[in-house]
Each structure stands twice: as structure tokens, then as C-alpha cells.
Amino acid sequence: MSLYLRPESLNDALAALGRQPLTVLAGGTDFYPARVGRPVDESLLDISALAPLRGISETSDHWRLGAATTWTDVIEAPLPPLFQALRQAAREVGGVQIQNAGTLGGNVCNASPAADGVPALLALDARVELASRSGTRALPLADFITGPRRTARAADELLTAVLVPRHGLAARSRFAKLGARRYLVISIAMAAACLEWDTTGRVVSARVAVGACAPVARRLPALEAALAGRALGPALGEAVSEAHLAPLSPIDDVRADAAYRLDAAGTLLRRLLSTLGAEAAFP
């Protein structure tokens, strides 16, 4: 017999996960569309009443984004320019109604190759926090998503937060997406980048990620290395070469073929980095 549980404390939620397999439900914006036309026959753990899982806070070394934080919360929060990519991605997650209900943790745990939030979070060097009755652990987001619709979350664990580290330098990020239309569309390709720079206006570190062009969103380490030491400015996009796209493995599907996706990813990155370089140099 299937169950529907809506605990009001994290301890109760973790106890329930420890007793039996449960499908975790937050905003439901992916869960319900995937089950149109058939009854829900699995047992559910609705975490929407767990107030501590929603909201954004900061400490001396990181920002903590609760797993139940909605995309509207991200858009409206007074976050620094470091989070610009995530806010831009948040505005691409469906319409306003979806943004009001959909959660950051749900987007990550759904593990779609085209999840809008994931490239931005990878560019922010994010980690995920997982809790169970036996304790809490954190791991890099890149290690958490292991494949399409697959994650490293154990059956008795709940994703409780996304953690974004502070690096101590001036930083800014940006997100770009290509779809068949401007809004309310699944990505053909998308990219996010985060730059940190020193007082001379040169890039100290760069983190660049591409989504919808591989089984999981991918960082591009060779491009990141090529950007280090370059001067900020609109010429930054010229650093991108075809060789930098080697970690990508796009597929042919109804939205685009693999060759188009690869070419689009390169174009997005050049435009993205040119704009980001100019924004950082002339804020």
C-alpha cells in the first residue's frame, strides 16, 4: 500500500526515509508531469512543511541555499554578483507559477541533463549537503549527479542544502541558454561561467560549465585554465576553441542534432564570456 507522508520536522522525515523507500516530493513540478495519465502508486515523502529547508543564509566561508528554496526565492534574494548566473537560470525555469513552486533541491535531484540550475551551480563550485539518521555529509555537485536521472543520494538520505563557497576575490557569473523559443522551453544547449579577478583586472580563476550537451552538465577544465591570467574585457570570449569542448558528448534528438549542439555550445560560451568579461571590467 502506498503512503503519503508530510512531516513537520527534519528528524521525522529522516526517520521515515530510514524505515522504507520513499519518493521525495517538494514543489512537484517534475514529479506530476512525469505521471500524467496514470495513478501515483509510490509512497511519497512531502517535504514542503520543513521550514528549515527553505531560505538562503550565509556564514564566513559559504552561502547556504536550503533544498526547498524556490526559484522565486533565488530571484528575489539580495545576492551578490557572484550569483548572477543562478538568478538568470532561475528566470528560465518555466513560468512564474513554476518558479514559485519548483525548488533548487528538486532541480538538482531530478538530475536532468538539461536542468537549468545545474551549470550555474557547477560554475559556483557548489556542494550538496545530504542528511540521514546516521549523520550529514557534503560532496561536490559534480560528484552528486552521476547520470541522467541518477544521483549519489542514498535511499535513506535527504538533500538538505546547496553550499556555495566564498573565495575572497571579486567575482561575477553569468548564464546563457539556447532553446527553440525564448521562454518555457527545454535547452538545446546552455552555459554558465564564473570569473574571479585580482586588483590588476586579470582573471585569477574561472569556472565554466555546459549543460544539455552530455549525460550530465560538464565543467570545461581546459577552457578554465586558458582563461586564467587573461585581462578582463570583451575579448575574453576569443579564448574559446573547439578543443576546449572535448568533455562534451551531445546527442541527436528532436530538439537538435549533436553537431548543432556542439557548435551552439561554442557560440554560447564566446558570447557569454565576452559579456561577462566586459561586465567585470566595466561594472
Tens digits of per-residue pLDDT, 13-68? 999 999 999 999 999 998 888 888 888 889 999 999 999 999 999 999 999 999 99
In a domain, 34, yes or no: no
E strands within the chain? 4-5, 23-25, 44-46, 56-58, 62-66, 127-132, 135-140, 145-147, 150-151, 158-165, 170-178, 189-197, 203-211, 218-219
The pLDDT score that the predictor gives to residue 111 is 95
In a domain, 240, yes or no: yes
Rounded CA gap, 105 and 107, in Å?
5
Q: How confident is the model at residue 81 (pLDDT cuts 50, 70, 90)?
A: very high
Counting the structural domains of the chain, the total is 1
The pLDDT score that the predictor gives to residue 180 is 75
The pLDDT score that the predictor gives to residue 80 is 96
CB atoms within 10 A of CB 87: 18
In a domain, 33, yes or no: no
What is the extent of the structural domain holding 229? 170-281
* Set of cell numbers at residue 257: 542534432
CATH code at position 228? 3.30.390.50
In a domain, 269, yes or no: yes
- Burial of 210 by CB count in 10 Å (0-12 exposed, 13-18 middle, 19+ buried)? buried
Rounded CA gap, 89 and 123, in Å?
12
Q: How confident is the model at residue 283 (pLDDT cuts 50, 70, 90)?
A: confident
The pLDDT score that the predictor gives to residue 33 is 86
According to DSSP, the β-strands at 4-5 and 44-46 are parallel
The pLDDT score that the predictor gives to residue 36 is 87
Instruction: List, in sequence order, every residue forming a beta bridge with 160; answer none if it has no partner.
Output: none
Q: How confident is the model at residue 141 (pLDDT cuts 50, 70, 90)?
A: very high
